[in-house]
Amino acid sequence: DDDDDDDAPPPPPSVASSPSRWTGPPVNRLDEQAARERVMRLATTTTQGAGALEAIQGCLSSMPGVTNNRLALFRYPSVKCPLDTVALNLIETRWVVAFDALANAPRRPGDPPFCFGITHPALTPAKTPPGEDPIPPKEGDVGLVCRMVDAYHDNKEERLYVTSQVVGRFRVDRVVTDGNPFFVAETSQVLDQVPEDDEGAKALAEEEADVWRLLKQLETLSAKTKEGDGAQIDYDMRRCSPDPKERPPWDADPPAPERRAEMFSWAVTRRLGLEPREHLDAVRTTHTSARLAQVKSALTEGVNYLAAVSALQGAEGGGEGA
């Protein structure tokens, strides 16, 4: 007990003597040393913990980041796109141990955080028994690559909270574990093809221009009819816009020119609420024009709907005025 007391620095006198001031989180609740001890205990005294620690090692042995070709696969229940945030609230021993290792494994200076993969909900059942992955991933399956952003333990609740960002897509090349305690796969990165000739570049530019025009129409009609959730063109759409004049001048990390059109297509796709099967098509394709054509169809429906609402409101307003 004395050792525990020595590890915790005493609070400043002004804080200790003033019950009205915040004195920090409950004892041990966010204590990193307590978290380390709990994870080590799980990894050494439980079958799931030991299995998770062994399975995750292969995901830590190569260069971290989107080029890391071995990924732990987490079955995620909803659709996500590049640019999205994925937040996890983990209580299962296997995941607490695995994600703690991803968050705390040594990295060389300048290396990006480690990544994991989330499976696509159209390729997995909506519900499975807790702790089980009944359908193994297959060669050729696609999913999303998530880069670790933050992780912290709540020792009182015995949970691990993880925040990550979707930074790309993967395709399964080979499954290297049997799913006990989770699946790990060797993967390859999926990127859209960049047009190699003037004709392809022109066709892509036309698709982008059409989508941007529809977004502007949608925003105008949404404001006019008071339908929708406010601005229809968000920050990511603007920073990836095909129109350079629309891009924020203060963007410190603009998309690479060769990837800008692809990221624009994702910035729009992520806001459309596509059904899982439609979304899977968007994830599978490596043609930005095909994804833009898909979102253009959905945007056209939205514009037509709001145009009809606007006409109806105008007719009703005219009738009242008469």
Rounded alpha-carbon distances, angstroms, from residue 44 to 38, 92, 143, 180: 10, 15, 31, 16
Q: What is the mean pLDDT of the chain?
A: 85
Written as one letter, the residue type at 137 is: P
Rounded alpha-carbon distances, angstroms, from residue 14 to 17, 21, 168, 262: 5, 9, 49, 55
CA angle 305, 309, 311 (to 5 degrees): 115
pLDDT band at residue 60 under the 50/70/90 scheme:
confident
pLDDT value at residue 58: 85
- Checking DSSP bridges between strand 115-119 and strand 85-90, what pairing results, if any? unpaired
Q: What residue has token string 């999303």?
A: 144
Identify the bridge partners of residue 117 per DSSP, sorted by sequence position: 73, 145
CA distance 41 to 56: 17
Encode pLDDT of 211-228 as tens digits.
999 999 999 999 888 887
* Nearest CA among 248, 222, 221 for reference residue 235: 248
Task: Work out the percent of the chain whose per-residue pLDDT is above 70.
Answer: 83
pLDDT value at residue 322: 41
pLDDT value at residue 1: 40
- The correct CATH number of 27-190 out of 3.90.1150.10, 3.40.50.970, 3.30.40.230, 2.30.130.40 is 2.30.130.40
CA angle 109, 105, 152 (to 5 degrees): 105
Encode pLDDT of 69-113 as tens digits.
899 999 998 999 999 999 999 999 999 999 999 999 888 888 888
pLDDT at 62 > cutoff 90:
no
Written as one letter, the residue type at 250 is: W
Rounded alpha-carbon distances, angstroms, from residue 47 to 28, 78, 181: 26, 29, 9
pTM: 0.83
Take residue 11 and report the two structure tokens written for it: 């609070």
